[in-house]
Amino acid sequence: MLKVLLNPNHSINHGRKSLSTPRLLDEAEEERQVEMRREMIQKYRRVRGEMSDRREHDCKLRNSLKALQLRLYEQLQASLQRCLTSFTDSNNNYYY
């Protein structure tokens, strides 16, 4: 079965075919190619800028969530400390 699939006599043309008639690069064709490259670069820069903005927004969001988490942790610590001090006896022994 594998020998049938990988027949050594089977040839695949991997080469590029050029145009049937060679064509000189005139000013109009050169300008068209330059414009096409310019459009591709503009599109790349636009997409890159959008991605950069998205990353910056995500970074700011993560930082604000970290700050919120720290504030909540500090509040939890303060609340826990208040609870522990309210359950102390006169010898400062904690009841668990």
Q: Give the number of other CB atoms < 10 A from CB of residue 80.
A: 10
Mean pLDDT by 10 residues, the chain (96 residues): 54 57 76 94 96 97 97 94 75 56
Query: For residue 4, what are the CA distances in angstroms to 7, 18, 26, 86?
Result: 5, 32, 49, 84
Hey, what's the torsion of the CAs at 76, 79, 80, 86, to 10 degrees? Answer: 180
**pTM for this predicted structure:** 0.50
| Domain definitions of the chain by residue range | 30-87
